[in-house]
Amino acid sequence: MGPSHRKKPQVEAAKVELAKAPPAHLQPTKKDPPVIAPAAPLQKKTDAAIAADSALKEKAAGCWKPIGIPACGPEEFQEIWQRIWEERSGTEKLSETMDRCIQVCERDDVDVAIPPPFQRAWKEIADNEFQEEMEPFYAERRERRQVHG
């Protein structure tokens, strides 16, 4: 066991010390600019990826077009609205579908904020559907007034 055996702990200690912090002459000073890691190279999307993104955006936009507003609200709300829209039966009124979305969001176990533009659109659509539904009755009333008037 010669002198080289005694130096091993010192060498190991030096390696540990170097791993902790660089030597003083390699440490940045206040005058040195900050070191910025190089940006990752941009990857081009494949045609398939672009088409898939486009299809997803189109599918998501499909639930917003009928109500006449752009996508709004928190992401959780948008996901709920899209899911409810996709589950919608062909006979359900648009206002009823929107109302189901609002009810889901207001449940205690969900508790997702309903964006004001969605609420306004729901009210306007419900009012318009009511007016359309009642129009035959209003028309009949107008006719009777004209005949008897």
The 10s digit of each residue's pLDDT in 33-68 is: 555 656 666 666 677 766 555 555 666 678 999 999
Domain membership of residue 94 (yes or no) is yes
Residue 75, pLDDT score: 94
Q: Identify which has the larger pLDDT, 133 or 24.
A: 133
Give pTM, 2 decimals.
0.57
Domain assignment of residue 91, given as a range:
72-148
The 10s digit of each residue's pLDDT in 80-124 is: 999 999 999 989 999 999 999 999 999 989 989 999 999 999 999
pLDDT band at 20 (very low <50, low <70, confident <90, very high): low
Domain membership of residue 111 (yes or no) is yes
Domain membership of residue 5 (yes or no) is no
Distance CA 59, CA 51 (A): 12
Domain membership of residue 81 (yes or no) is yes
Q: Identify which has the larger pLDDT, 64 or 145.
A: 64
Domain count, the chain: 1
Distance CA 40, CA 79 (A): 31
- Whether 27 and 21 have beta carbons less than 8 Å apart is answered as yes
Domain membership of residue 135 (yes or no) is yes
Domain membership of residue 85 (yes or no) is yes
Please list, in sequence order, all residues whose beta carbon lies within 8 angstroms of the beta carbon of residue 119, skipping any fewer than 6 positions away. 102
Distance of CA 74 to the CA centre of its chain: 6
pLDDT above 70: residue 73: yes
Mean pLDDT on 67-81:
95
Domain membership of residue 99 (yes or no) is yes
Considering only CA atoms, which of 69, 65, 70 is closest in space to residue 85?
A: 65
Domain membership of residue 44 (yes or no) is no
pLDDT above 80: residue 21: no
Mean pLDDT on 7-36:
60
